[in-house]
């Protein structure tokens, strides 16, 4: 399933009537099964891109399409995972994962089998009857991933999903999302502020300029997986990306 962004721009109007251009003529093709990271300085439009792709916002100019079909509203072909987990605290882990399947009208036996399958995939078998407040941050994020996977989307949109986690948990979640990606073959677009995270995860990294965000460079990561963060190639790519981000952020 191919995702295409064609000359996408997004302009907001403030309460004072001022116009702010968040994105400027973004064109990108994402191939089936790719792991893409989107990187750039704060305020460059990374989240806005995901929201437009998800059908949660509308581009001011340009088009989004999946396999040549225009994206104009949210679709079951795509699922978005947020930094804040977005779990319902009154529902158990199992019931949170069931939610999307319930909304799709999937019969009860089928949706329960699907929930069990994906909870096992993310390593939460045995926690089905727990509530979100009883889980660690990393476990809550795994519930969010299982809920997204349960509706069987072709594309996962992940908006800084590990940003609120401590460093040790974040590294573990990076390894886990790669294992899930390798098993499911989903296309993933992953927004992050972390250069290290992007180099560790991505096939390609889309580097955006400061606002209005446009594509400054697309960096292909030639290393296979798993990647060694201290390897010479990893360090060189990270340095190149940091230099670009610092320049866009005005850091000398």
- Report the alpha-carbon distance of residue 70 to residue 160 in Å, rounded: 26
pTM of this structure? 0.91
- In this prediction, residue 189 carries a pLDDT of 97
- Report the alpha-carbon distance of residue 238 to residue 232 in Å, rounded: 10
- Report the alpha-carbon distance of residue 169 to residue 34 in Å, rounded: 24
Report pLDDT digits (tens) over 174-213.
999 999 999 899 999 999 999 999 999 999 999 999 999 9
- In this prediction, residue 216 carries a pLDDT of 97
pLDDT of 68 > 70? The answer is yes
Report pLDDT digits (tens) over 53-67.
999 999 999 999 999
pLDDT of 134 > 70? The answer is yes
- Report the alpha-carbon distance of residue 188 to residue 38 in Å, rounded: 11
Polymer length of the chain: 252
Query: Any idea which residue has 């437009």 for tokens?
Result: 52
Q: What are phi and psi of 218, to 5 degrees?
A: -110, 115
Q: Name the more confident of 157 and 225.
A: 157
pLDDT of 101 > 90? The answer is no
Model confidence band, residue 252 (pLDDT cutoffs 50, 70, 90): low
pLDDT of 251 > 80? The answer is no
Q: What domains are there in the chain, each with its CATH number?
A: 1-77+191-252 (3.40.50.300)
Q: For residue 90, give both structure tokens.
A: 């009154």
- In this prediction, residue 164 carries a pLDDT of 81
């Amino acid at each position: 399933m191919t995702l295409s962004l064609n000359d996408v721009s997004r302009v907001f109007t403030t309460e004072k009537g001022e116009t702010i251009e968040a994105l400027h003529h973004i064109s990108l093709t994402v191939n089936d099964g790719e792991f893409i990271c989107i990187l750039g300085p704060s305020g460059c439009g990374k989240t806005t891109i995901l929201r437009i792709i998800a059908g949660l916002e509308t581009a001011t100019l340009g088009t989004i399409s999946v396999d040549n079909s225009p994206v104009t509203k949210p679709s079951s072909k795509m699922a978005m995972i947020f930094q804040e987990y977005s779990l319902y605290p009154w529902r158990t882990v199992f019931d949170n994962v069931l939610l999307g399947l319930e909304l799709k009208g999937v019969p009860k036996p089928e949706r329960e089998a699907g929930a069990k399958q994906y909870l096992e995939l993310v390593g939460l078998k045995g926690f089905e009857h727990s509530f979100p407040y009883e889980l660690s941050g990393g476990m809550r994020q795994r519930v969010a991933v299982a809920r997204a996977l349960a509706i069987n989307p072709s594309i996962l949109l992940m908006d800084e999903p590990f940003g609120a986690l401590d460093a040790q948990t974040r590294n573990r979640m990076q390894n886990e999302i790669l294992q899930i990606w390798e098993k499911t073959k989903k296309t993933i677009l992953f927004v992050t502020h972390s250069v290290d995270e992007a180099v560790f995860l991505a096939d390609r990294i889309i580097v955006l300029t400061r606002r209005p965000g446009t594509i400054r460079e697309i960096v292909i990561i030639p290393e296979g997986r798993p990647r060694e963060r201290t390897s010479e190639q990893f360090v060189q790519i990270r340095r190149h990306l940091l230099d670009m981000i610092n320049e866009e952020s005005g850091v000398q």
